[in-house]
A and B are shown apart, each in its own frame.
Chain A
Amino acid sequence: MADTKRPVIDLTSLLSRAAGALGERVGALPNVLSKRSEQLRPRIAGAKKTPGVCPYCAVGCGTTVYSKGNTIVDIEGNPDSPINAGTLCPKGSATYQLHVNPNRITTAKYRAPFATEWTDVPYDWAMERIAQRIKDTRDRTFREHDEHGRRVNRTTAIASLGGATLDNEENYLIAKLFRNIGTPFIENQARI
């Protein structure tokens, strides 16, 4: 609801008028905007805009992700969203740093039993070994019947616990895969 009567303040003209007034008194002054300032462009100028959603609380604020090439340059509130109208809270405003952050781990890591440190490992090796560990545990522990002879078709040795930032589609595949691996221990932050 823009108030059309509100005067628009043009900072540049205001500054140059002020500089002009000063110039009359103390002689000619250069424009107070330096060449550098004049040439400065916002970080997001020319960036690709991608609509996103804030990953923190459950309000679901719309975000705009600005990127250049494969690099995120900024994440801001989406002014079109009827939920947040461009605003974000401190956490939402930090979504950029959630992504662009030197603390991020970007390689697969492995800690062998009794080891005191991580080792970087090839992603594919880690994936294959995880699949084998699941198969090994499942094959050793899978029970068709419980102690009363009732059919249960399951292993109670494998568990999955999901966090608060999983997409619906991710939850769907987790539910589908782990239920069919045969574990009843499928849980999520939603209960926690």
Chain B
Amino acid sequence: MPGLGTLYGLGGATTHLMDLQHADLIVIQGSNFAENHPVGFRFAMMAKERGAKIVHVDPRFTRTSALADLYIPIRSGTDIAFTGGLINYVLSNDAYFKEYVHAYTSASFLVHPDFRDTEDLDGMFSGYDPDKCTYDAKAWRYEIDDSSQPSSGGGEASVHEGGKRPKQDPTLQHPRCVINVIKRHYARYTPEMVESITGAPRESFLKLARMLVENSGRERTAVYAYAMGWAQHTVGVQNIRAAATLQALLGNTGRPGGGIMALRGHASIQGSTDIATLYDNFPGYLKVPTLEKDETDFATWSKAHTMRSGRWADFPAYAISLLKAWYGEHAQAHNDWNFARLPLNTGDHSDLPMFFSMKDGEVEGLVLYGQNPAVGGQNAALQRGAMERLKWLVVRDIFETESATFWKRESADPTKIGTEVFFLPVAGVAEKAGTFTNTMRLVQFHEKAVDPPGDARSDLAFTYDLGKRLRALYADSENWLDRPLLDLTWDYESDDPHERALGEPDVEKVMREINGYRIETGEHVRDAHDLRDDGSTACGAWIYAGMFPAPGRNLTRRRIADPANPASPEWAWAWPNNVRTLYNRASADPNGVPWSERKKLVWWDEGAGRWTGDDAPDFPPHTAPSYRAPDDARGEDAIDGDTPFVMLEYGRSEIFGVNGTADGPLPTHYEPRESPVGNALYPNVQYNPVLKEWRRRDNPYHAIGDPKYPYVVTTYRLTEHHAAGAMSRQLPWLAELQPAAFCELSPELAVEKGIRNGDWVTVETARGDIEVRALVTGRMQPFRLGPGRFVHQIGIPYHFGYEGEVRGDSANDLPPLVADPNVTIHEGKAFTGNIRPGRRDPFKAQTPEEEDVPKSEQTPFGNPERPGPVAGPGGKGGTVEAEVVPPEEVMAASRLVHELDERNAAGEGIRQHGD
């Protein structure tokens, strides 16, 4: 999650669920908290019972809105305009938390005189390279104080070579002070502009702005909660950075009842990011070496990611410990820690390029570990079609998924599909032991209750077994390219004869490797400070060091709740170092004294000479507030005692993005890739100019304001179903609670289109058509973007597919593949489409599935392209040609329709909808 990482240092929720009860204001935006994380929502309700206010900002009125004190509708994909408006309100009213901002953010740093903002360059930042269509992030830097002493031992990950300090103006008067740059950037995000872009009524917007200011400061705190509604956009990372900026300005981060509650989607999403099975990360957020940066030897790679100050100063220790954990004695200083054998990245190898590459015949074998792209993937028909090109496919799941049976689907002829498919049944969570990391970085161990049935095995057993078989197949190889497999440490054999007979390895042996150990003595490391860069320690993921500090002391298995402290520090273990509220040194003022008695969490105990409080301090425990780092210090020693963000170079939250983002140092409003309206703020830059796109005939995009596709479409999830449905549509208990695929639309749109509640409707995009039931509800409403300008939105749950107890068309057949430039996350939350009454044409070809793409449209390994700045329609950000009838007129017509309906249905009671 670079959205949070670039601003605060770590890619994780800054707070924990239980802490929501300490908030005075909870703003939920980009999340349907009550329905998608229902049990976590109880802490929001506890806060409400104590007098806190809840505000929900969302395109749909949901149960979360129903429980909120204020609901603000907002058109999908316009969140930065909204949050930017709040930043503008806070800054232009001089309502930010001054002491906090001065001390704990980069507000006083001077931005380099060469920097140009989007306000200067008509929607573009300086540093744009029109040949590559990318930004050079070096253009977004501070002005260096040449009089500061350069320090030694710094790596290149430092923003400034040699570690010289930026110039500062503590009076915040200088026009190039970060805070003044931010102020100018958002000056045009006025309540009027916010309303005309987002459709949020300006009175509601202003009400929230006032609530935020009233509920921030020494005595009070506000918290933001978000989920996929922010992430799944071509500006996904910047959506989150916008809120993180606002929270930094309001002084809410690192404090009780404050911060950003990132609501991850599923049981192990945070864990799969930490212990990354992602193309660009090794476990522990170590970036995979890439030829894009010429990282061809250990020294170059290590230097590129080592910072002079903060915890990343120890990158070499983390990286060498990982290579020691993997290759044991085969990784030595004299052979560059076996670095030369690692596969190198050459671009974007994420799941989107992966599927294009599969469609083009490059990827010939795929292992699916409980993943169902045939339903869950964007432009899902393309993904199903791509799977037909595979030579072999392994599906590991608990039930038969659509991805396992893609060759049997309605439109496919199995006798023409040459894919060899293996289905291996898996153990359920209660049939195996291991850990999940939940949405608040809490690593919890689940014990094994019973053996899995029949051939079902854990994915741990499968992977371990597969590794053993591959090593046996290559055992006699003399080819040095096969050495990495043979050099691996690969012994997790269980000591329990029963588990051994099942082929189940010892999960605690894997946990010991992740936690880390000293190679000579075998002792477990106690935390990441024990890791060394001399090859004497092994550690699979440095951020998890400390979860298993000694044999028999697996802290993730702790289950001691503390009624006096809702954080329950002895319930399981949170990374890093069991810290529950990240950056909690910020809960005290620069002198180490809590900002207020009401909001105290961690403070400096002068007598004891250490930080203390109700949470493990997320700060060097003995670094006094008065400590000033000498110029030659490195690592945590180079962080001053009054700067809480220890992952970052200057220990301050980087509200001006000097590193890490691909699309600008400040979040900026751009329209989604597909939108019915122009960009009112920057008419010449319609959407994120550096987003990732694939212009191919199997992935067509709609034109801006295409009259064939005039409505905004968004996908979402239901309480009763799970992701692509494999774990819910096969369960009768859940299936009967939500038995059919449907879409939600407003009565206004329904009347305009002649659609009645319960009717079959077809939703169309250039990628495909789906048929679902219409749910006509006042929970959906048209957005009024100005006099006579309305935009309709349609919402569709995406859980359905052609297997299971309940079936239906997949909403993910509709969106295109297009992605955020930072993390290649797709834009399932905002695209355009059309809706019409009636069922879909069964004979209409599903373009993406069937068409071959000519070589000229393919890119190597499915790598994406960048659009560069694309002007909006008419250059004025007006609405497009599409004629929209004002909702008032539509509703008048609807009353007539309604009367007719009632007459027809008289005596029938509830209408039955058969096929």
Contacts and interface: CB of A to CB of B under 8 A. Distances in A.
B370 A164 contact: yes
Which 7 pairs show the lowest CB-CB distances between chains A and B? A60-B438, A167-B434, A106-B454, A163-B370, A164-B266, A154-B343, A58-B439
B449 interface: yes
B722 A177 contact: no
Contacts of B40: 57, 59, 83
Contacts of A183: 343
**Range of interface residues on chain A?**
35 or more
A52 B446 contact: yes
A35 B823 CA distance: 64
Given A50-B447, A58-B264, A172-B514, A184 B278 contact: no
A181 B357 contact: no
B882 interface: no
Interface centre among A89, A105, A150, by most chain B C-beta atoms within 10 angstroms, is: A105
B425 interface: yes
Given A58-B263, A110-B421, A135-B474, A164 B269 contact: yes
Contact of B446 (A53, A72, A98, A151): A53
B429 A57 contact: no
Contact of B277 (A59, A88, A110, A175): A175
A129 B394 CA distance: 11
A74 to B, nearest CB: 11
B616 to A, nearest CB: 16
Interface in B409-446: 414-425, 428-432, 434-440, 442-446
Nearest to B568: A82
Contact of A167 (B343, B425, B435, B455): B435
A169 B460 contact: yes
B470 A181 contact: yes
B559 A153 contact: no
B468 to A, nearest CB: 9
Interface string B249-289: 00000000000000111111111111111110011000010
B170 interface: no
B858 interface: no
Interface stretch (B641-649, B727-735, B766-774): B727-735
Given A114-B417, A192-B825, 11 more contacts: A54-B429, A57-B36, A60-B438, A60-B439, A103-B399, A106-B454, A114-B414, A123-B455, A127-B469, A160-B366, A190-B273
A180 B485 contact: yes
Interface in A97-133: 97-99, 101, 103-116, 118, 123, 126-133
A173 interface: yes
A89 B469 CA distance: 41
A166 B370 contact: yes
Interface in A120-172: 123, 126-135, 137, 141-142, 144, 146, 150-154, 156-172
B858 to A, nearest CB: 13
Interface string A76-91: 0000111110011111
Nearest to B737: A90
Contacts of B445: 53
B865 interface: no
A157 B360 CA distance: 11
A81 B279 CA distance: 35
A134 B398 CA distance: 23
Interface stretch (B130-138, B344-352, B661-669, B785-793): B344-352
Given A81-B561, A99-B428, A192-B351, A111 B420 contact: yes
A177 B370 CA distance: 17
Interface stretch (B182-190, B372-380, B584-592, B691-699): B372-380
18 contacts: A54-B267, A55-B727, A59-B39, A59-B439, A71-B450, A91-B722, A98-B429, A107-B425, A107-B455, A111-B423, A118-B423, A153-B481, A160-B367, A163-B371, A167-B268, A173-B460, A184-B344, A192-B825
Contacts of A106: 425, 453-456
B562 interface: yes
Given A167-B432, A169-B460, A170-B459, A56 B266 contact: yes
B320 to A, nearest CB: 16
Nearest to A126: B422
Nearest to A47: B449
Nearest to A112: B420
Interface in A44-71: 48, 50-63, 65, 67, 70-71
Interface centre among A55, A62, A101, A106, by most chain B C-beta atoms within 10 angstroms, is: A55
A130 B455 contact: no
B326 interface: yes
B435 A166 contact: no
Interface centre among A1, A101, A130, A191, by most chain B C-beta atoms within 10 angstroms, is: A191
Interface centre among B372, B399, B561, B568, by most chain A C-beta atoms within 10 angstroms, is: B561
Interface centre among A53, A174, A190, by most chain B C-beta atoms within 10 angstroms, is: A190
A184 B349 contact: yes
A173 B449 CA distance: 22
Contacts of B568: 82
B277 A160 contact: yes
Contact of B38 (A63, A89, A188, A189): A89
Given A106-B454, A127-B469, A59 B17 contact: yes
Contact of A174 (B263, B269, B459, B720): B459
Contacts of B61: none
Given A48-B449, A50-B447, A167-B434, A158 B343 contact: no
B685 to A, nearest CB: 26
Contacts of B434: 167-170
Given A189-B269, A190-B269, A52 B429 contact: yes
Given A57-B36, A151-B340, A67 B439 contact: no
**Range of interface residues on chain B?**
35 or more
A174 B39 contact: no
B351 A179 contact: no
Given A53-B436, A105-B425, A151-B296, A179 B719 contact: no
Contacts of B805: 103
A192 B460 contact: no
B343 A159 contact: no
B266 A189 contact: yes
Contacts of A95: 429-430
A15 interface: no
B730 A185 contact: no
Nearest to B484: A180
A176 B823 contact: no
Contacts of B511: 169
B519 interface: no
Contacts of B368: 161, 163
Given A99-B431, A188-B278, A61 B514 contact: no
Given A59-B17, A188-B278, A132 B444 contact: no
Given A56-B267, A163-B372, A108 B424 contact: yes
A180 B471 CA distance: 11
B342 interface: yes
B196 to A, nearest CB: 33
B279 A167 contact: no
A187 B397 CA distance: 17
Contacts of B39: 59, 61, 83-84, 87-89, 92
B381 interface: no
A153 B342 CA distance: 7
Nearest to A111: B421
B600 interface: no
A101 B734 CA distance: 12
Nearest to B570: A82
B37 interface: yes
B343 to A, nearest CB: 4
Contact of A55 (B267, B270, B734): B267
B464 interface: yes
B351 A182 contact: no
Contacts of A101: 399, 730-731
B211 interface: no
B369 interface: yes
